[in-house]
C-alpha cells in the first residue's frame, strides 16, 4: 500500500495512505497549508503560525484512533477519517476571521462550501488530478455520507438534545459518526485545543487525550463517555472555556481580525471567489484596491492596530437607551451603529469598528455552550450534570467578559469614546 509518514508536532508520526494520501494531494487540501489556523492571532501570540492543513491531519489521526477505540467497521472508519481530513476545505483565508461577513453576504458558511466541494458541486480551478468525490467513490466511500458528517442535514445530532428519562435515553437514528466530527468531545476540537495551546504557548488547552479515547463508547447509536472518563471530560471543557476567553477571543486579536474583515467588505462582488484564495492572495488583492484597503494591509503588516476606546460590560446594560437595549447583534445592526457613531465623530465609517462577538460565536463555534455530555454508568445513561457541578458552572460562565467593544485609530480614541457614550446612553447615563 502506498503511504507516507508525516511527522506532526502534536501527534508524532501520522501515517497517511491510499485514498487519504490522494485526498491530501488535491488542490482543495493543499490550499489549507497557506491558511493560518488562528487567523491573525499571531499578532498577539507570535508562535501561532500553524495552518489548517496541520489541524486537518491532526483531526484525521484522532478520527483513526477513536475509530479503533470504538471498534468501528472499515467502512465507518474510512468515512469518518475522510470527513475529519476534509472538514475544513471550505474555509476562507484567515480561517474564521471572515466567517461572519461571508456568511451574511453569500448565505453560506465554510461548512456549506465544504459540503459542495466534497459532493463535487464546486471545485478549485486548474486541477490536474481527480476530484474529491471521484477519489472517495473509488474507495467505496459515499461523498454524500462524508458531506453529511460535516454538517448534518438538519443539524439535529447534538448530544445535548438526547432526552434522558429515568436513566434511559430515547434515540432516533444512529449519530455516533456525526458526534465524532461535531459533538462536545469530537476529534476537531480535541485537536485544535491541543494544537492551538502548543503553538500559542498558552497552557490552558492541555487535555487528557489518552483517557478520553479510552473512555468514549457507543450507546444506543450515540457517542457517550463512561463514568471513568468524567474527570478527563471536565478537563477538556475547562480547557475549551479558558482557550476561548484567553486566546480565541483576545481583544487585540479581535481588533486585528475585524480590521481585515472591514477591508474585505468592499469586495462584495468577489465574495464567492474569496473561498478559493489563500491568506497571501487575499492581502495582495486588498493591496491592489488602494486607499483604505491598502492602508489596512499596511497596518496589519506593521502591527499598527486600532485601539479599544470603549467596552460595554453587563453592569452597563441597565443604563442603555431603550432602543439600544433591544437592538440585536446582527451584522446589519452593527454596521448601522458604526455609521451612526462615525457620523457623530465626523469621521469615515472605516475608522470605527463595533464588535459584538456573541452572535458570531454561534456561527464559528456552536459547540461552545455544550457541556452536558452523556455519561454511561452501569448500563444506564445520565446527564454529566448529575456527576459534575463543574459542568454546570462552566455552562453559566461567559466566554467573554464584555458584550460590545468599540475600537478606532489611536488618535481618535477620545472623540469616538464620547460619541459611543452619546449613542448608547441617556444624558443621565455614563
Average pLDDT over residues 230-257: 93
What is the distance of C-alpha 254 from the center of its chain?
14
Using CA atoms, how far apart are residues 284 and 293, in angstroms rounded to an integer? 10
Whether residues 169 and 136 share a domain: the answer is yes
d(CA 29, CA 12): 20
Whether 115 and 223 share a structural domain: yes
Mean pLDDT of 368-391: 85
Is the confidence at residue 268, as pLDDT, over 70?
Answer: yes
**Which of 52-61, 286-295, 313-322 comes out lowest in average pLDDT?**
313-322
Q: How many CB atoms lie within 10 A of CB 206?
A: 15
pLDDT at residue 421, as a whole number: 94
Torsion region of 182: left, alpha or beta (phi above 0 gives left; psi -120 to 50 gives alpha): beta
What pLDDT does residue 155 have?
A: 46
Residues 48 and 119 in one domain: yes
| Choice between 120 and 215, residue whose per-residue pLDDT is larger | 215
pLDDT of residue 152: 62
Instruction: Provide the pLDDT for residue 165.
Output: 38
Number of structural domains (the chain) is 2
Q: What is the maximum alpha-carbon separation in the chain?
A: 74
**Could you identify the residue written with the cell 448608547?**
424
406 pLDDT above the threshold of 90: yes
The pLDDT tens digits for 310-341 are: 999 988 888 887 666 555 567 888 999 999 99
% residues pLDDT > 70 (the chain): 88
Question: Residue 71: exposed, middle, or buried by beta-carbon count in 10 A (0-12, 13-18, 19+)?
Answer: exposed
Partners of 406 in beta bridges: 310, 354
Residue 186 lies in a domain: yes
pLDDT tens profile 145-154 = 999 998 764 4
E-only strand ranges, 227-347: 307-312
346 and 366 share one domain: no
DSSP state of 36: B
**349 and 427 co-located in one domain:** yes
Query: What are the tens digits of pLDDT across the range 57-82?
Result: 999 999 999 999 999 999 999 999 99
Identify which has the larger pLDDT, 304 or 325. 304
Give the length of the chain: 430
Whole-number pLDDT of residue 53: 98
**Per-residue pLDDT at 429 exceeds 70:** no
How does DSSP classify residue 353?
E
- State whether 178 and 61 are in the same domain: yes
Is 392 domain-assigned?
A: yes
Would strands 168-170 and 163-165 be described as parallel, antiparallel, or unpaired? antiparallel
The CA angle 23-58-62, to the nearest 5 degrees, is 100
Q: What is the pLDDT of residue 329?
A: 66
Q: In this predicted model, what pLDDT tens digit does every residue of 14-51 receive, in sequence order?
A: 999 999 999 999 999 999 999 999 999 999 999 999 99
**Would residue 259 count as lying in a domain?**
no
Higher pLDDT, 164 or 118: 118
CB within 8 Å of 49: residues ≥ 6 apart: 36, 42, 199
CB atoms within 10 A of CB 314: 10
Q: What is the pTM of this model?
A: 0.91
Give pLDDT, residue 77. 97
Say if 282 falls within a structural domain.
no
**CA–CA distance, 400 with 395 (Å, rounded to integer):** 13
Q: Identify whether the C-beta of residue 303 lies closer than 8 Å to the C-beta of residue 46.
A: no
Is pLDDT at 179 greater than 80 in this prediction?
yes
Phi, psi of 297 (to 5 degrees): -60, -45
Instruction: Let me know the angle formed at the C-alpha of 81 by 18 and 375, rounded to the nearest 5 degrees.
Output: 155
Q: What whole-number distance in Å separates Cα of residue 365 and Cα of residue 249?
A: 12
Q: Are residues 213 and 315 in the same domain?
A: no
Run of H or E including 405: strand 404-408
Same domain flag for 71 and 179: yes
- Read off the C-alpha cell for 227: 463514568
| Shared domain check, 351 and 365 | no
pLDDT at 44: 97
Say yes or no: 337 and 189 in one domain: no
Q: Count the helix, strand and coil residues of the chain and give each as a percent rounded to the nearest 5.
A: 60, 10, 30
Q: For residue 201, is it within any domain?
A: yes
Residue 293 lies inside a defined structural domain of this protein: no
Lookup: cell for 151: 454538517
Contact 110, 88 (CB under 8 A): yes
First and final C-alpha spacing in the chain? 69
d(CA 53, CA 270): 24
- The reply to whether 374 and 344 lie within a common domain is no
Residue 190 has pLDDT above 90, yes or no: yes
Q: Is the pLDDT of residue 172 over 50?
A: no
Give the dihedral sign, CA 201/205/206/209: negative
Q: Is residue 232 pLDDT above 80, yes or no?
A: yes
Average pLDDT, the chain: 88
pLDDT confidence of residue 29 = 96
The answer to whether residue 168 is domain-embedded is: yes
366 plus 328 within the same structural domain: no
More confident residue, 122 or 305: 305
Q: What is the pLDDT of residue 248?
A: 93
CB 95 within 8 A of CB 36: yes
Containing domain of residue 82, as a range?
Answer: 3-150+163-250+361-396
Q: State how far Cα 278 lies from the chain centre.
A: 17
And the C-alpha cell for 190? Answer: 480535541
| Distance between CA atoms of residues 32 and 20, nearest Å | 15
426 falls within a domain:
yes
> Among residues 267, 301, 303, 300, which one has the least CA distance to residue 286?
267
Whether residue 289 is predicted with pLDDT greater than 50 in this model: the reply is: yes
Residue with cell 450515540: 222
The pLDDT of residue 94 is: 96
Q: What is the CATH number of the domain that holds 145?
A: 1.10.3210.10
Amino acid at each position: 500500500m502506498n503511504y507516507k509518514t508525516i511527522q506532526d508536532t502534536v501527534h508524532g508520526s501520522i501515517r497517511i495512505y491510499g485514498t487519504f494520501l490522494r485526498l491530501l494531494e488535491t488542490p482543495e487540501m493543499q490550499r489549507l497549508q497557506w491558511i493560518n489556523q488562528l487567523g491573525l492571532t499571531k499578532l498577539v501570540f507570535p508562535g501561532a503560525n500553524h495552518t489548517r492543513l496541520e489541524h486537518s491531519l491532526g483531526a484525521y489521526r484522532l478520527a483513526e484512533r477513536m475509530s479503533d477505540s470504538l471498534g468501528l467497521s472499515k467502512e465507518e472508519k474510512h468515512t469518518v477519517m475522510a470527513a475529519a481530513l476534509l472538514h475544513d476545505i471550505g474555509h476562507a483565508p484567515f480561517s474564521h476571521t471572515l466567517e461572519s461577513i461571508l456568511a451574511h453576504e453569500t448565505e453560506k458558511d465554510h461548512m456549506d462550501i465544504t459540503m459542495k466541494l466534497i459532493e463535487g458541486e464546486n471545485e478549485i480551478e486548474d486541477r490536474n488530478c481527480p476530484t474529491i468525490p471521484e477519489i472517495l467513490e473509488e474507495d467505496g466511500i459515499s461523498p454524500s455520507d462524508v458531506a453529511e458528517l460535516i454538517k448534518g442535514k438538519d443539524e439535529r445530532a447534538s448530544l445535548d438534545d438526547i432526552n434522558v428519562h429515568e436513566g434511559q435515553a430515547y434515540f432516533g437514528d444512529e449519530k455516533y459518526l456525526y458526534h465524532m466530527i461535531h459533538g462536545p468531545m469530537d476529534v476537531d476540537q480535541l485537536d485544535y485545543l491541543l494544537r492551538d495551546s502548543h503553538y500559542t504557548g498558552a497552557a490552558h488547552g492541555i487535555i487528557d487525550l489518552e483517557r478520553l479515547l479510552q473512555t468514549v463508547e457507543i450507546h444506543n447509536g450515540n457517542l457517550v463517555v463512561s463514568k471513568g472518563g468524567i474527570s478527563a471530560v471536565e478537563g477538556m471543557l475547562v480547557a475549551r472555556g479558558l482557550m476561548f476567553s484567553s486566546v480565541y477571543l483576545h481583544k487585540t486579536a479581535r481588533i486585528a481580525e475585524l480590521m481585515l474583515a472591514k477591508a474585505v467588505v468592499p469586495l462584495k462582488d468577489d465574495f464567492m471567489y474569496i473561498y478559493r484564495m489563500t491568506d497571501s492572495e487575499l492581502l495582495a488583492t486588498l493591496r491592489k484596491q488602494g486607499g483604505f484597503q491598502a492602508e489596512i494591509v499596511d497596518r496589519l503588516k506593521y502591527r499598527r492596530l486600532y485601539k479599544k476606546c470603549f467596552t460595554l460590560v453587563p453592569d452597563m446594560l441597565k443604563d442603555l437607551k431603550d432602543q439600544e437595549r433591544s437592538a440585536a447583534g446582527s451584522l446589519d445592526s452593527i454596521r448601522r451603529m458604526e455609521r451612526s457613531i462615525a457620523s457623530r465623530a465626523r469621521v469615515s465609517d472605516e475608522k470605527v469598528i463595533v464588535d459584538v462577538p456573541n452572535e458570531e460565536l454561534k456561527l464559528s463555534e456552536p459547540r461552545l455552550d455544550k457541556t452536558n455530555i452523556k455519561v454511561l454508568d452501569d448500563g444506564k445513561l445520565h446527564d454529566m450534570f448529575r456527576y459534575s457541578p463543574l459542568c454546570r458552572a462552566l455552562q453559566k460562565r461567559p466566554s467573554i467578559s464584555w458584550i460590545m467593544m468599540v475600537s478606532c485609530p489611536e488618535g481618535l480614541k477620545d472623540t469616538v469614546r464620547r460619541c459611543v457614550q452619546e449613542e448608547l446612553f441617556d444624558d443621565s447615563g455614563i
